[in-house]
Amino acid sequence: MPSNAVNPDLQREREKASFNTQEFTYWWLGGKEKYEAKKKLEKLFLNDPELKDELPISYMSPKELYEHSVRKAVIIAKKLRELRADGEDDVDTYTALFGGALGSALIKEGNPMMLHFVMFVPTIMGQGTVEQQIEWLTKAWDCNILGTYAQTELGHGTFLRGLETRAEYDATTQEFVLNTPTISAYKWWPGGMGHTANHAIVVAQLYTKGVFRGLAPFIVQLRDLETHMPMQGIDVGDIGPKIGMKSVNNGYLGLKNVRVPLNNMLMKNQQVLPDGTYVAPKNSVLTYGTMMFVRVALIRDLSQTLAKASTIAMRYSAVRRQSPIDPNKPEPQIIEHTTQQLKVFPQIAKAIIFKITGEHIWNMFNNVSGELEQGNMDRLPEMHALSCCLKAITSADSAAAVEVCRLSCGGHGYMDCSNFPTIYGMTTAVCTYEGENTVMLLQTARYLVKVYAQALSGEPLVPTVQYISDYIKNREFGAFDCTLEQIVHAFQFVAANKVRIAYERMEKHRRQGHEPETAANLVGIELTQAADLHGRAFLAQTAYSGLNELIRQVSPALAAVFQTILELYLLDACLGRMGDLLRFINLTDGDVSKLELRLAECLKRLRPNAVALVDSFDVHDRVLDSALGAADGRVYERIFESVKKNPMNKEPVNKTFHQYLKPFMKANL
Ligand SMILES: Cc1cc2nc3c(=O)[nH]c(=O)nc-3n(C[C@H](O)[C@H](O)[C@H](O)COP(=O)(O)OP(=O)(O)OC[C@H]3O[C@@H](n4cnc5c(N)ncnc54)[C@H](O)[C@@H]3O)c2cc1C
Rounded Cα distance, 246 and 114, in Å: 13
Spell out the SS3 assignment of 382-417.
Answer: HHHHHHHHHHHHHHHHHHHHHHHHHHHCHHHHHCHH
Rounded Cα distance, 472 and 455, in Å: 7
Query: Helix, strand or coil for residue 74?
Result: helix
pLDDT of residue 372: 84
362 lines ligand 1 (CB under 6 A): no
The enclosing H or E element of 255 equals strand 251-255
* Dihedral, CA of residue 263, residue 265, residue 266 and residue 272, to nearest 10: -80
Question: Mind giving me the DSSP string for 145-158?
Answer: S-EEEE--BSS-SS
442 lines ligand 1 (CB under 6 A): yes
In Å, how far are 152, 286, 388, 395, 553 from 434, measured between CA atoms? 10, 17, 9, 11, 36
443 lines ligand 1 (CB under 6 A): no
Rounded Cα distance, 137 and 372, in Å: 22
Q: At what angle do helices 524-553 and 437-456 cross, to 10 degrees?
A: 90
Rounded Cα distance, 178 and 551, in Å: 57
Name which residue sits closest to atom 8 of ligand 1, judged by CA: 190
Rounded Cα distance, 306 and 481, in Å: 31
Q: Are 193 and 251 within 8 A, CB to CB?
A: yes
193-232 pLDDT tens trace = 999 999 999 999 999 999 999 999 999 999 999 999 999 9
Rounded Cα distance, 244 and 416, in Å: 12
Domains 145-282 and 447-608 equal at CATH topology level: no
CB neighbours of residue 662 within 10 Å: 11
Residue boundaries of the structural domains of the chain: 23-111, 145-282, 447-608
Rounded Cα distance, 258 and 221, in Å: 9
Question: What are phi and psi for residue 466, nearest 5 degrees?
Answer: -55, -30
Is it true that domain 447-608 has CATH number 3.90.550.10? no
Q: Are 264 and 219 within 8 A, CB to CB?
A: yes
Query: Helix, strand or coil for residue 280?
Result: coil
Give the CATH architecture of domain 145-282. Beta Barrel (2.40)
Q: Is 458 left (phi over 0), alpha (psi -120 to 50) or beta?
A: left
Rounded Cα distance, 335 and 317, in Å: 5
pLDDT of residue 2: 61
Question: Mind giving me the DSSP string for 584-648?
Answer: HS---HHHHHHHHHHHHHHHHHHGGGHHHHHHHT---HHHH--TTT-TT--HHHHHHHHHHT-GG
- Residue 392 alpha carbon to ligand 1 centre in Å: 13
432 lines ligand 1 (CB under 6 A): yes
- Residue 435 alpha carbon to ligand 1 centre in Å: 6
Q: What is the mean pLDDT of each run of 10 residues along the chain (669 residues)?
A: 84 98 98 97 97 93 97 97 93 88 95 96 94 96 96 97 97 98 98 98 98 97 98 98 97 98 96 97 72 90 97 98 96 98 98 98 93 87 96 98 98 98 98 97 98 97 97 95 96 98 98 97 98 98 98 98 98 97 96 97 98 98 98 98 94 97 90
CB neighbours of residue 339 within 10 Å: 9
Residues 6 or more apart whose Cβ sits within 8 Å of residue 650: none
21 marked as binding residue: no
**Residue of 163, 253, 436, 441 best suited for mutating to test ligand 1, as the one with most atoms within 8 Å of CB:** 436
Residue type present at position 83: L
For residue 265, give the nearest of 170, 153, 138 by alpha carbon: 170
Q: Are 4 and 594 within 8 A, CB to CB?
A: no
Q: Among positive and negative, which fits the CA dihedral 307, 112, 418, 397?
A: negative
- Residues annotated as catalytic are 434
pTM: 0.97
Task: State the ipTM, two decimals.
Answer: 0.98
**b/e code 389-405 from CB counts within 10 Å (16+ = b):** bbbbbbbbbbbebbbbb
149 lines ligand 1 (CB under 6 A): yes
Q: Of all atoms in ligand 1, which is nearest to the CA of residue 155?
A: 26
Distance of CA 496 to the CA centre of its chain: 27
Both ends of the chain: CA-CA distance in Å? 52
pLDDT of residue 284: 65
